[in-house]
Chains A and B, each alone.
Chain A
C-alpha cells in the first residue's frame, strides 16, 4: 500500500538570508588533476600552433616519443628506480633525524640550546655549497648523495615540527599534569599529535627539497638516475630527453606532495578547518 503525500510538491522556499560563504567552499571532484591538465593543454596548444618552438621547449608528443626511446633503449625504469631509491633513503633519514631533533629541542631547554643554534646556522649555509666538503668526507659515491639529501630534507621537518610543537596550547600540558601521566605518555598523547600538523607541513617542504637535492647530487659521478640521464642529455644536446627528466621530476614531486596532503587530511580528521 502506498500513502499519498499531501504536501504540495513545490514547497514554499525558505524566506531567509543565505549568507555568502567566506571559506573556499565545497571540494571539487578531481580537483587534483585540473591544474596540471590545463598546463599540459596550454603546452600542447603552444607547440601545435608553433608559438612554442621545439628549440625552446620540446612538444609534448615528442617528449612521449623520447620517453619511449629512453624506456626501451636506455633503461629509463632503472634510472627512475635508482633516483627514487636515493631520494627515499635520504628523505627517510632526514625525516627521522629532523623529527627526533625537533622533539628533543622542543621539550627540553638543554636540548634546545644544543640543537637549535646549529640547525639555524646550517639553514643559512646552502646545503649545495657543502657538497664539496661532503665529497671530501664521504667520497663521491652513494653515501655522499644520501647524506646531502637527508640534510636538505631535515631542515624543513625540524623547523615546522618544532614550531608546531611549541604552538601546542599550554593548557593541554596542564591537563596532562592533573591527570598524572608520565613523560612518555605526554609525548605520545599530546606532543606528537599536537605537532602533527606542523610535521606534515614540514613533510611537504621536505619532499620537494629532497628532489632538489637529488637533481644536484646526481650530477656528481652517478651511473644511474634521472639526474644522470639529464647530465648525459645535456652533453649530447638532447633537449627532448632533458624535458623527459624534468617531467619525471615534476610528476614525482606532485605525486609525493599530493600523497602527503592526502595523508594529512586522513590523520587530521579531528580538525575542522577551511580545508574541509
Chain B
C-alpha cells in the first residue's frame, strides 16, 4: 500500500481501489488493483509483457468503456495521454496538431511555446512525416503539455526510439515534469528508465501491485534497486 510521501493529508491525484478488468470470462487482467499517486509525483509502472500495464493506463484514461470489470477510479479533471506512437494527425501541420481542440484565443502562442520547450521551434509548419521518430514523439509531448494536465499518462512513450534519443527524451521529460508538475504514470518495460525518471517504481504482476518502492537517494542504492526490481520481474540472475 502506498504511503503519503510528504506525510501531508492531501488528496491524491490518482486513487484506484479494487480495480478489476477482464477481456475473457476465464481470467482477469487486473485483479483488485489499488494505486495512489500524489499530485506532482512521478510513478513508473513496470511489469512483464501482458501483465496489464496498458490495460491499467487505458482504464485511467477512460478509454476502456467496452471492457468488463469494476472498481473505483478517481483521476483529476485534466488528464493527458502520451502513446507509444506519437499519434500525430498526418493531415495537420505540427503546430495544428499540438493545439488541436484548444479553444483559448492564445492557443497558437501557447502551442509555439510548448514546441519551443521540447526543442521543436521552427518546425511549426512541418508535416508529421517530415519529422524523425524522436521529433514526432517530442511533438506529441508538446501536445500533452500545452493542455497543462494534472495527470500525465504515458504508455512506453520511448519504446520505439533508439538508445541515444531515449536518453535525451528522459532528460527532457524530467525537465518538463519539474516545470509543469503533473502527476505522472509512466509505463515502461525498462528498469533503468524507471529508476532514472521516477520518484517511485511499481511492479505489476498478475493484475495486482507486486512491489511499490521509492527511488530515494537516501535509501537503497540504484544498483540494489535495480537488482531488486529485476528479481521482482522474475528475471533470472544470469540474464541480468
Interface residues in chain A, defined as those with a beta carbon under 8 Å from any beta carbon in chain B: 171-172, 174-181, 185, 189-190, 193-194, 196, 269-272
Contacts and interface: CB of A to CB of B under 8 A. Distances in A.
Nearest to B77: A180
Given A175-B83, A270-B127, A272-B129, A181 B89 contact: no
Interface centre among A193, A270, A271 (most CB of B within 10 A): A270
A275 to B, nearest CB: 14
B101 A172 contact: no
7 contacts: A171-B85, A178-B79, A190-B89, A193-B91, A270-B90, A270-B127, A270-B128
A271 B63 contact: no
| 6 nearest A-B residue pairs (beta carbon) | A181-B101, A193-B91, A178-B81, A270-B91, A175-B87, A270-B127
Contacts of B90: 270-271
B21 interface: no
Nearest to A189: B100
Contacts of B80: 178-179
A194 B143 CA distance: 20
Nearest to A185: B101
A204 B91 CA distance: 21
Interface in B85-129: 85, 87, 89-92, 100-101, 127-129
B62 to A, nearest CB: 8
Given A181-B101, A189-B101, A271-B90, A171 B129 contact: no
- Which range holds the interface residue count of chain B? 20 to 34
B61 interface: yes
B147 interface: yes
A179 B78 CA distance: 9
A194 B101 CA distance: 16
Interface in B120-168: 127-129, 143, 147
Contacts of B127: 269-270
A181 B91 contact: no
Given A178-B63, A178-B81, A179-B143, A171 B87 contact: yes
B101 A179 contact: yes
A226 to B, nearest CB: 38
A62 to B, nearest CB: 50
A172 B87 contact: yes
Contact of B89 (A174, A177, A178, A189): A189
A269 B129 CA distance: 11
B63 A174 contact: yes
Contacts of B62: 177
A174 B58 CA distance: 10
Nearest to A272: B129
Given A174-B87, A177-B62, A179-B80, 13 more contacts: A171-B87, A172-B87, A176-B101, A178-B79, A178-B80, A178-B81, A179-B147, A189-B92, A189-B100, A189-B101, A270-B127, A271-B129, A272-B129
Interface centre among B63, B83, B87, B143 (most CB of A within 10 A): B87
